[in-house]
Amino acid sequence: MKIGILTSGGDAPGLNAVIRGIVYTGIATGKCEEFVGFRNGWKGVVDGDTVPLGRHEIKGIHKQGGTILGTSRTNPFDGIGGVDRINEVMREQGIDAIVAIGGEGTLAAAKRLTDAGINIVGVPKTVDNDLDATDYTFGFDTAVQIATDAMDRLRTTGDSHGRCMIAEVMGRHVGWIALHSGMAAGAHAILIPEQKTSVDQILEWVTSAHDRGRAPLVVVAEGFSLDTMDDAHSERGLDAFGRPRLGGIGELLAPIIEERTGIETRATTLGHIQRGGTPSAYDRVLATRLGMAALDAAIAGRWGHMVGLRGTDIITVPFADALGKLKTVPQERYDEARILFG
């Protein structure tokens, strides 16, 4: 069997460990000895742009962030893509099956292609940890660690100046990174997309911490909205008052908190540093195991399935069961974290 591997969508620490897990397992067990990588996600599939993947190419890559294959947001059904084109490329290059490593969009495309008869196994990738069919996704632990380290640093500045510090972290639709890093850093308020919150409530958390002699630390997911912001506002990039929004939600909140409480307030947007660089040991182990299981699934012909983590076990799940359900932060986890605000 000859297997093609692709990485698609935003990069995440651990992608290379998945690739290495797949290839190493195939070669070391003799189950599959021929691998290619598609360059830049689905773009490489529709373009037939491949690179060989052997022992040499995967040496030591599990320690590197990003993806050695490159990635893109190309949709295989846009333009010249589609089932026929992909079948053609696979036939031309003698590729029997694809392991697609990507997020919701990639896996949805993979499902459509599998339904049309193409042999695909999926590996879920989302730094935001918002996929329902797996307990955790690789990259999430690294992002939480980086955000926590950054907040540990921000905090000493807040303490020294008596300031409120705001850290804006990743999380467009879900608040997992904010929840975990906020709990790890000891934040006085955690603001997540799942919980629209009023300005007054935020001010209460901030002033309560300040009154106890603490420098308030607020972590906010990039997708958080104030309760006065309707979804249209958020989508159109408007702020809480319907004005065009510059910068992220953190920079929107800072002046509001400062004006209303009199506490000097500074926002920092962590941005891309959360998703690059060396993966944590946790993510390396998880990504390696997912890659190994994906190879096994391919050998077993479990097309249309993706691998995932359940407890300490690696499982496989049909795409149909895994897609379309955003894993949001449940109310009880938010309530649990909220106890620590004050």
Instruction: For the segment 51-90, give every residue that binds a second copy (CB under 8 A).
Output: 55, 59-60, 62-67, 70-72
Q: Are 50 and 37 in contact (CB under 8 A)?
A: yes
Minimal distance, residue 91 CB to a second copy, in Å:
28
Cβ contact 261:203 at 8 Å: yes
Nearer residue to a second copy within complex by CB, 1 or 183: 183
227 among known catalytic residues:
no
- Residue 91 marked as a ligand binder: no
∠ CA 38-2-39 to the nearest 5 degrees? Answer: 5
| DSSP notation for 64-108 | SSS-TT------TTSTT-SHHHHHHHHHHHT--EEEEEE-HHHHH
127 is an annotated ligand-binding site residue: yes
Q: Can you tell me the distance from the alpha carbon of 184 to that of 228, in angstroms, rounded to the nearest whole number?
A: 29
Q: Considering the rule CB under 8 A, would residue 155 count as an interface residue with a second copy?
A: yes
| Nearest CB to a second copy, comparing residues 212 and 325 | 212
Q: Tell me whether residue 29 or residue 331 sits nearer to a second copy (CB atom).
A: 29
Closer Cβ to a second copy, 118 or 294, answer by number: 294
Indicate which single residue of 2, 112, 153, 173 sits in contact with a second copy (rule: CB under 8 A): 153
Residues 120-149 binding a second copy (CB under 8 A) are 135-136, 141, 144-149
Q: Does residue 105 interact with a second copy by CB under 8 A?
A: no
Is 74 labeled as ligand-binding? yes
Residues in region 291-330 near a second copy by CB under 8 A: 292, 310-312
**Which one among 186, 197, 203, 260 touches a second copy, defined by CB under 8 A?**
186
Q: Nearest Cα to 100, choosing from 72, 127, 132, 79?
A: 72
- What are 193's two structure tokens? 């997309």
Total interface residues for a second copy by CB under 8 A: 80
* 267's tokens: 């926002």
What are the φ/ψ torsions at residue 39 (nearest 5 degrees)? -80, 135
What's the token pair of residue 9? 């969508």
Active-site hit among 49, 78, 84, 128: 128
- Torsion sign over Cα 274, 276, 281, 284: positive
**324 has binding-site annotation:** no
Q: Is 170 annotated as a binding residue?
A: yes
- The answer to whether residue 181 forms part of the interface with a second copy (CB under 8 A) is yes
Catalytic residue numbers, as ranges: 128
Binding residue numbers for Mg(2+): 104
